[in-house]
Amino acid sequence: MSEPNTAVPASNREQKAVPVAPNVPVDPSVNTWSRFITTFEVSEFTDWIDESLSWKKTCYIGDWSPLLKMRVRGPDSKEFFEYLSTNHWPSFQSNQAKHAVFYRDNGTIIGEGVLMMLGHDDFIFTSVPGVTWAVYQFHHGNRKFNATVDIVSDD
């Protein structure tokens, strides 16, 4: 088993190390960290305003690889995601990704994530609360859909 990525150099491992997310760059000059599930990651590299506007002004590179992933296939797969979401995608095409925001019947947000269209009736959604909510709704919700759901987090 590989040793977890830590914010403490190997020569100082006898000290208490902070476990960090393996897919997030470690910058020892950063002072602001946040907990993500069982590890810590940098909360901001520059400042929150600069980073919040990066998606609009420059470039945002995010890593959602440690999150849960589900694959939905079938004729109703897109309809399923539109049913759960505040979003509708009339021009969604293969090999595109969209932001999906899921909400409850009372209008509160229950989760959000990235929805990728692999083919006409083939989608992958990545999130944590969003995947949990979508799987629950698929199996126990008020509507039934002609589709299949598979958890593919390890793929």
CB–CB of 25/42 below 8 Å? Answer: yes
Give me the residues paired with residue 109 across strands: 103
Distance CA 110, CA 132 (A): 10
Q: pLDDT for 117-146, tens place per residue?
A: 999 999 999 998 899 999 999 999 999 999
Q: The pTM is what? A: 0.65
Count CB-CB contacts under 10 A for residue 110: 18
CB–CB of 72/81 below 8 Å? Answer: yes
Q: pLDDT for 47-105, tens place per residue?
A: 888 888 877 788 766 666 678 899 999 999 999 999 999 988 899 999 999 999 999 88
SS3 147: coil
Architecture per CATH, domain 68-151, reads as 2-Layer Sandwich (3.30)
Distance CA 12, CA 18 (A): 12
Q: What is the pLDDT of residue 138?
A: 97
Residue range(s) of every CATH 3.30.70.1400 domain in the chain? 68-151
CB–CB of 68/127 below 8 Å? Answer: yes
Distance CA 129, CA 23 (A): 20
Distance CA 126, CA 153 (A): 8
The secondary structure of 80-118, three-state, reads: HHHHHECCCCCCCCCCEEEEEEEECCCCCEEEEEEEEEE
CB–CB of 41/116 below 8 Å? Answer: no
